[in-house]
Amino acid sequence: MIALITARGGSTRLVNKATRQVAGFPALAWAIGAARRSSAACVILSSDDDHILRTGEIYGAQPLKRPAEYATEHASRESAVAHAIFADGAGALALARDGRGPSIVAHRTLFRPEHLDAMGFEYPGGRPRVILSKDVRRIGAHMMGEMARTLMDLQGLKRDAIRHWVLHSAGRRVLDRARVLLELDDADLAASRAVLRRFGNMSSATILFVLEEVLRSAAAVPGDWGLMIGLGPGFAAEGALLQW
């Protein structure tokens, strides 16, 4: 578990409230102290203000510089949380008609616009606001299951026929739920969990990091089947049925 503390530099009702002295310490220090005494593995301080970040670091928090547009008077808590939990990454791949690696046997896209308000962006008054509902962990896992069934049905495959799983590292709880829905074991999710542990969720680029991990670590043989599934706003899922 990670503790996230948010503090912005432009407070108006009480100026500099995060660094004001309270019983001999900055107010921020009390929050950091409470978080460090909890079961959190680490304490992250998100702020747009360098002085607040330096103060927090002194008292044991890991500083995370937040963009100014996510630290205005009207910025939502979801925006600060999303900035803290999403990582940066980029990936690309080359497709060829022959050569090493798996073939793409089929591809499908699923859209579920009824979940449009679960994840995405809004711009109220021209200001960016991230939408990130806790329902994402349920919706994401369910769409992984739906995509897997759709792709397997195209070739008349059963769950046991899939040897390699390339699943979006969309978060620990998403993967936990997908494991139950798809009846997977630890080995099936090893690549997804390794990418999540090392890099975090990098949005759409994440799936290519997982694919690279599978290609590097899996002992695939000709004829093996695999499923690759990524998630995104919309709510959307992209999937490909692979064969080595």
One domain, residues 111 and 72: no
Place of tokens 């060829």: 96
One domain, residues 63 and 119: no
Kindly tell me the sign of the dihedral angle through the C-alpha atoms of 169, 175, 181, 184: positive
One domain, residues 111 and 77: no
The distance of Cα 38 from the centroid of its chain, to the nearest Å, equals: 24
**Among 56, 85, 114, which residue terminates a domain?**
85
User: Quick one: angle between helices 172-182 and 190-198, nearest 10?
Assistant: 180
Task: Examine residue 92 and state whether it is found in any structural domain, yes or no.
Answer: no
Task: Examine residue 98 and state whether it is found in any structural domain, yes or no.
Answer: no
Q: Tell me: the pLDDT tens digits for 169-180?
A: 999 999 999 999
Residue 115 has a pLDDT of: 86
Question: Which residues are within 8 A (CB) of 174 and not within 5 positions of it... i.e. 6 or more apart?
Answer: 136, 137, 140, 141, 144, 168, 231
Instruction: Read off the CATH number of the domain in which 12 is found.
Output: 3.90.550.10
Rounded to 5°, the CA angle 27-3-18 comes to: 20
One domain, residues 239 and 130: yes
Q: Is the pLDDT of residue 63 over 80?
A: yes
Predicted confidence band of residue 218 (pLDDT cuts 50, 70, 90): confident
Residue-wise DSSP of 179-222: HHHHT--TTTTHHHHHHHHHT-B-GGGHHHHHHHHHHHH----T
Residue-wise DSSP of 155-175: TT--GGGEEEEEE----HHHH
Residue 183 has a pLDDT of: 95
One domain, residues 70 and 175: no
Answer whether 195's CB lies under 8 Å from 87's CB: no
Q: How many domains does the chain have?
A: 2
One domain, residues 201 and 126: yes
Task: Examine residue 113 and state whether it is found in any structural domain, yes or no.
Answer: yes
Task: Examine residue 161 and state whether it is found in any structural domain, yes or no.
Answer: yes
% pLDDT > 90, the chain: 59
One domain, residues 109 and 207: yes
% pLDDT > 70, the chain: 98
One domain, residues 139 and 220: yes
The dihedral region occupied by 78, where left means phi > 0, alpha psi between -120 and 50, and beta the remainder, is alpha
Which tokens hold the place of 36? 């460090």
One domain, residues 63 and 107: no
Predicted confidence band of residue 128 (pLDDT cuts 50, 70, 90): low
One domain, residues 119 and 41: no
- Rounded-to-10 torsion of CA 212, 216, 217, 219: 110
User: Where in the sequence is the domain holding 12, given as residue range(s)?
Assistant: 2-85
Instruction: Read off the CATH number of the domain in which 123 is found.
Output: 3.40.47.10
Q: What are residue 26's DSSP bridge partners?
A: 21
